[in-house]
Amino acid sequence: MIAERLFDEATIAARVREIGASINVDYAGKYPMILGVLTSASVFVADLTRRIDIPCEFDFIALTRYSDAEGIRFAKDTSASVEGRHVILVEDTIDTGLTLQYVTKTLRARQPASLEVCTLLDRPHRRIAGIDVKYRGFEIPDVFVVGYGLDYKGRYRELPELYAHGSWPQ
């Protein structure tokens, strides 16, 4: 059940334009790799890369969470090497930061020229791991969010706006 609209289509588009403009300035003269985390960030990555006017490459990774003892693994790794590249890691939502901590540690071991984090949604009040977020779309409260690529049991990804879902997933 969808509860309330958090951000409408125009607000999301305006914020994506602003982030794209910042990336254009920060990476002028460079050839950054936009690295999206599948699947929820795919809509954000698509819209963001269309707002970046400088030459860039984009790729995706996918993560799999195993039992707590085994942690997180790459289900799909990068197609191209990140070594020596300026990488912008694009995530849909950052909560505790533990998943992103694993991903950034793994990517930094591959020696990129730089690695920055971009997220559509951020819950800094839930942060456990120290994650520096250079580009942030929106700060959100403790609500489960659907739409604009984010889903609940495979539903609602197609919605062009972001909504609070009536309950946390079971």
List alpha helices for 27-147, DSSP H.
42-49, 98-108
- For 65, the token pair is 């969470």
Cα distance between residue 84 and residue 146, in whole Å: 35
Place of tokens 């970046």: 52
Residue 167 lies in a domain: no
Return the pLDDT at 2. Answer: 76
Residue 26 lies in a domain: yes
List alpha helices for 6-150, DSSP H.
9-26, 42-49, 98-108
Residue-wise pLDDT for 23-53, tens only, equals: 999 999 999 999 999 999 999 999 999 999 9
Residue range 76-96: mean pLDDT, rounded: 96
Return the pLDDT at 165. Answer: 85
Residue 5 lies in a domain: no
Residue 95 lies in a domain: yes
Tell me the pLDDT band of 71, cut-offs 50, 70 and 90: confident
Residue 165 lies in a domain: no
* Domain extent at residue 136: 10-143
Q: Contact 163/3 with Cβ under 8 angstroms?
A: yes
Q: Contact 163/4 with Cβ under 8 angstroms?
A: yes
CA torsion 12-13-14-19 (nearest 10°) is: 90
Paired strand residues for 86: 114
Return the pLDDT at 91. Answer: 97
CATH number of residue 117's parent domain: 3.40.50.2020
Q: What percent helix, strand, coil does the chain show, rounded to 5?
A: 25, 35, 40
- Residues 47, 95, 122, 151: which is the catalytic one? 95
Average pLDDT across the chain, whole number: 93
How many domains are there within the chain? 1
Give the C-alpha distances (Å, rounded to integers) separating 4 from 7, 29, 143, 163, 164: 9, 42, 10, 6, 5
- 95 among known catalytic residues: yes
Give the C-alpha distances (Å, rounded to integers) separating 52 from 23, 26, 45, 56, 84: 7, 11, 11, 8, 21
